[in-house]
Amino acid sequence: MKKHILVVGGGFAGINFIKSLKNDKRFRITLVDKNNYHFFPPLIYQVATSFIEASNISYPFRKLFSENKNVNFHMGSLIRVNPEKKTIETDTGTLSYDYLVLALGTESNFFGMENVRKYALPMKNIDEALYLRNHILLTLEEAARNKDIKEAEKLQNIVIAGGGPTGVELAGMLAEMGRYVAQKEYPEIKFSLSSIYLIDALPSLLSPMSKLAQQTAYEKLKELGVKILLNVSVKDYVNCNVILSDGKSIATETLIWTSGVIGREIQGLPEESIGKGRRILVDAYNTVAGTGNIYAVGDICLMLSEEKYPKGHPQLAQVAIQQGKNLAANFKRIEDGKVLEPFHYNDKGSMAIISKYNAVVDLPKSSFKGFVAWLTWLFIHIIPLVGFKNKVQLALDWFRLFITNNPSIRLILMPKRNTGADSYQRKSERT
């Protein structure tokens, strides 16, 4: 009998796990995800800033595994895990398993600030990136019609909360968008009233990276006109005013939230299996604490067994990829009756792009910046993309856009939910 493996979540961890087992006839694999596509989160900010299309960094699951007969796809959102029954409940049905692999990733952490949760703009998935893109473009159009100075300042200010790689890359891209695109295409706007604020509670940007990376990011963003506020955090967002921990406030209709993440809540797991940041506690083999046949990989898991990472591994793509592959190899070892291999993270470094032709790269034994780092960033971010067409298309788009400084996809698309969506809803109600 083939062992049935349910994999919940089609991010880096889940996809690499499945790829490693896709031709193994001893397993039957079902991927469960609320979306029907895999996407590449490190480039999502370029979708949000109208630099690339969402299709450049996305790929349908069914097409990805269309040649693999032991892999199926089930579209649905996880509601609950039933360990005793070996089933999961989704909003589209109940599924049984022999092994369950949880790879759901994380969601934005608003640290209990209800107004920030309701009104800030997160950027964790394709839907949020497209919403943010529409918001920025609509706000520019409103600013172009506006005649009041105070209102203009509020419309044109952008506040980014979070000075990690995503916040830094987004600030640089928005600053260059303002310099090369907005000033030319929106002559009605007085850009002297516009400001981009990058806020972080820590004393430096890119805090996990090297001093070279931190200093370079700070200097280059300053050159682009970004106003960097360190050692200060967002405390509230009231009536289009970002309230800061030092008592000051910034008037804006655009608060972009990149300040933290928390594990997705999963009902049904033992209480002792949930650790700090709502991450799932696992052992050295990614087995969920208090269970025997449930595993967790990627950002959602918290492994405290590796001596080099006593507080858990960083929530990076490379950790997720390596955990997915290691767990798949261990599943094969289980079937072969071999000794399992504990997970050990191979740190390949980290990087961030700051602006056109400027990036920072930290390798395990060295750090560098500038044009070479920028080329390295481009190359590294094309390799993991799923699908040959995506890689070629993105490379061509980048080449054209970096030369012309003029992306042409600034379309405000807001399909109304009164045709196909309503038909689908009516069909659901009938059945």
Q: Are residues 23 and 103 in the same domain?
A: yes
Q: Write down which residue in 312, 336, 360 finishes a domain.
A: 336
Q: Are residues 265 and 148 in the same domain?
A: no
pLDDT of 424 reads 43
Q: Are residues 7 and 94 in the same domain?
A: yes
Q: Write down which residue in 236, 259, 282 finishes a domain.
A: 259
pLDDT of 400 reads 72
Q: Are residues 234 and 306 in the same domain?
A: no
Below-70 pLDDT ranges, the chain:
385-389, 404-409, 415-431
Q: Are residues 209 and 304 in the same domain?
A: no
Q: Are residues 269 and 332 in the same domain?
A: yes
Helix spans in 96-251 (H):
114-119, 126-145, 149-156, 165-177, 183-185, 211-223
Q: Are residues 328 and 198 in the same domain?
A: no
Query: The domain containing residue 300 runs over which residues?
Result: 3-34+76-108+261-336
Q: Which two tokens stand for residue 238?
A: 């009231």
Return the CATH number at 248.
3.50.50.100
Q: Write down which residue in 336, 368, 388 finishes a domain.
A: 336
Q: Determine contact, residues 116/236, Cβ cutoff 8 Å.
A: yes
Three-state secondary-structure class, residue 324 = helix
pLDDT of 426 reads 41
304-327 burial, b if ≥16 CB within 10 A, otherwise e? beeeeeeebbebbbbbbbbbbbbb
pTM: 0.90
Q: Determine contact, residues 198/229, Cβ cutoff 8 Å.
A: yes
Asked if residue 148 is part of any domain, the answer here is yes
Asked if residue 62 is part of any domain, the answer here is no
pLDDT of 391 reads 75
Return the CATH number at 330.
3.50.50.60
pLDDT of 418 reads 52
Q: Are residues 98 and 203 in the same domain?
A: no
What is the identity of the amino acid at 284? A
Q: Are residues 132 and 176 in the same domain?
A: yes
Q: Are residues 253 and 269 in the same domain?
A: no
pLDDT of 103 reads 98
pLDDT of 139 reads 93
Digit-coded pLDDT (tens) for 208-242: 899 999 999 999 999 999 999 999 999 999 999 99
Q: Are residues 232 and 176 in the same domain?
A: yes
Asked if residue 55 is part of any domain, the answer here is no
CA 418 to chain centre: 30
pLDDT of 374 reads 85
User: How many CA atoms lie less than 13 Å away from 348 in the CB half-sphere?
Assistant: 9
Number of structural domains found in the chain: 2
Q: Are residues 253 and 124 in the same domain?
A: yes
pLDDT of 414 reads 73
